[in-house]
Amino acid sequence: MPPDLVRPMPTFLRPALFPVLLTLTLAVGSLTACGDDEGASPEEAASAAPSSAASERALAPPPVTDGEVRVFAAPLLWDGTGAAPISDALLVTRGGRIESVGRRGDVAVPAGAEEITLGGAFVMPGFVNAHGHAAGVRGAESGAEHYTQENLLRQLALYARYGITTVASMGGDGPEAVALRDGQGRSDLSRARIYLAGPILTPRSPDEVPEQFQRLEGMEVDWVKFRVDDSLGRATAMDRETYRALIQEARGRGLPTAVHMVDLEHARGLVEEGAAILAHSVRDELVDEAFVTEVAERGVCLTPTLTRELSVFVYRERPDFFDDPFFLAEADPAVMEVLMDPDRQAAVRGSEAARWFEAQLPVAMENLRRIHEGGGQVALGTDSGPVGRFQGYFEHLEMEMMVQSGLSPEAVLRSATGEAARCLGLEGTVGTLVPGAWGDLVVLEADPRDDIRNTRALRSVWISSNRVR
Ligand SMILES: [Zn+2]
């Protein structure tokens, strides 16, 4: 890497940037099943909030029923489409979906409907994470035995309490996730929506492509995910003939492709061959104008996953965000303890990969800025789910890092809502507050356009018009 790319420690690592926005109780997510909750689906029981939130939830209306109308009053509503916010807005949902939205007086309110005052300062669509993972991870342990529907629901409930109301699980997904996706079109939903890629495909030659697609049989995956990099020299990179065959096979089946890549050379080839989503930033070198133009013109989406880079090196010492109450409200102390183990910290300090990813983080951030300014589509993505990449919290940290990269807070909010939905082919379903979309919204105590860290000032979260926080 040229020496001019070595920059000072990014400012997001400085403790001053983690002000106390909210006084939250230090409740730790022990999810008790609601055995006395007669009639609740297993989904609802598993996704119930921790007991500390019980009093708050008691104020929430009961789960919405099919056809039930709810009318929400918002002081300022930003719909995620790029339109200017609406002050003194009303949003009407029926059976969990938005029926109408607009300025009070312009919106027809069904007779007899009671208004729900959302309060706060800023109402916006729930956040969409275009690259996360609902994974076989529990606490600090990973393994197939943890890939259960109950555990996936726990993770989707966690995302939801952080306002992340939709998650694209980009690989490693099994039938348990498929069942959750297929069952989420319901008015009483109270956890994040999941969409999925299924298993990550790993053909070693074009000949192996057809058999790899058999692994997706019966899953109706939303995208195909594969990786082309060589894991910093520890594996063999996928050659261009193979990923061309894979992308073409996917296209023939009407499926977009999302790709784990590291280098510009791969990214360029993938874009030329028709990949839809670059699932990480280009990290080896700065992107050039020709590449940026190609990305923009072909409508390729980038999920920057800057917090993924951070997670590779940050645990060499106690990270500053371990003091953020917004983090601590849900963090598992056992996981924090594992990450602060002195031997583990020493291993991270001695890791060449950690050093490389740290050195390349400024490159990733600058490439994000260049692609955004060149007209490329950017979708919030964190790669959260594995141990040390905290679901829910990392999405807020990612948005802060995107602003640090040079994007305006409003551009970041678009990337985390309407733009992400568009990249995922979910436009009009999630990510925007428009008629026909699900009533998934977050209410913030302060305007995040003034300071992106205001996304952490969560007053409430609603999914299918059900309060989940
Ligand atoms: Zn990933």
Confidence of residue 56 (pLDDT cuts 50, 70, 90): very low
The 10s digit of each residue's pLDDT in 72-131 is 999 999 999 999 999 999 999 999 999 999 999 999 999 888 899 999 999 999 999 999
Confidence of residue 44 (pLDDT cuts 50, 70, 90): very low
pLDDT at 66: 86
pLDDT at 72: 98
Confidence of residue 42 (pLDDT cuts 50, 70, 90): very low
The 10s digit of each residue's pLDDT in 307-317 is 999 999 999 99
**322-327 mean pLDDT:** 98
Confidence of residue 33 (pLDDT cuts 50, 70, 90): very low
Q: Which domains does the chain have, with CATH numbers?
A: 127-431 (3.20.20.140)
Q: Comparing C-alpha atoms, which of 297, 239, 459, 278 is closest to residue 364?
A: 278
The model's pTM is 0.89
Higher pLDDT, 429 or 38: 429
Between CA 65 and CA 60 the distance in angstroms is 14
Higher pLDDT, 389 or 11: 389
pLDDT at 43: 56
Confidence of residue 337 (pLDDT cuts 50, 70, 90): very high
Is the distance from CB of 72 to CB of 57 less than 8 angstroms? Answer: no
Is the distance from CB of 398 to CB of 306 less than 8 angstroms? Answer: yes
Confidence of residue 19 (pLDDT cuts 50, 70, 90): very low
Min mean pLDDT across 62-66, 285-289, 359-363, 395-399 is at 62-66
pLDDT at 29: 30
Confidence of residue 189 (pLDDT cuts 50, 70, 90): very high
Confidence of residue 232 (pLDDT cuts 50, 70, 90): confident
**4-19 mean pLDDT:** 38
Phi-psi label, residue 465: left if phi above 0, alpha if psi -120 to 50, beta otherwise: left
Min mean pLDDT across 50-54, 87-91, 248-252, 452-456 is at 50-54
Give the position of tokens 């789960």: 63
Percentage above 70 pLDDT, the chain = 87
Ligand 1 centroid, distance to 394 Cα (angstroms): 13
pLDDT at 256: 98
Ligand 1 centroid, distance to 4 Cα (angstroms): 29
**358-378 mean pLDDT:** 98
Ligand 1 centroid, distance to 224 Cα (angstroms): 12
Ligand 1 centroid, distance to 129 Cα (angstroms): 11
* Cβ-based neighbours of 49, under 8 Å, separated by 6 or more: 56, 57, 157, 161, 468, 469
Ligand 1 centroid, distance to 61 Cα (angstroms): 36
Ligand 1 centroid, distance to 107 Cα (angstroms): 41
- The angle subtended at Cα 65 by Cα 64 and Cα 69, nearest 5°, is 70
Percentage above 90 pLDDT, the chain = 84
pLDDT at 216 over 50: yes
* Sheet architecture: strand order including 193-196: 127-132, 164-169, 193-196
Confidence of residue 34 (pLDDT cuts 50, 70, 90): very low
Phi-psi label, residue 466: left if phi above 0, alpha if psi -120 to 50, beta otherwise: beta
- The amino acid at 83: A
Is the distance from CB of 427 to CB of 418 less than 8 angstroms? Answer: yes
- The three-state secondary structure class of 276 is coil
Is the distance from CB of 303 to CB of 277 less than 8 angstroms? Answer: yes
pLDDT at 26: 30
Higher pLDDT, 30 or 120: 120
- Tokens for 405, please give them: 């990269």
Please name every residue paired with 225 in a beta bridge, in sequence order, or none if there are none: 258
Higher pLDDT, 13 or 147: 147
Ligand 1 centroid, distance to 73 Cα (angstroms): 37
Ligand 1 centroid, distance to 419 Cα (angstroms): 19
Confidence of residue 20 (pLDDT cuts 50, 70, 90): very low
Ligand 1 centroid, distance to 53 Cα (angstroms): 30
Ligand 1 centroid, distance to 260 Cα (angstroms): 7
- Could you report how far apart the first and last alpha carbons of the chain are, in Å? 45
Residue 4 DSSP code: G
The 10s digit of each residue's pLDDT in 391-450 is 999 999 999 999 999 999 999 999 999 999 999 999 999 999 999 999 999 999 999 999
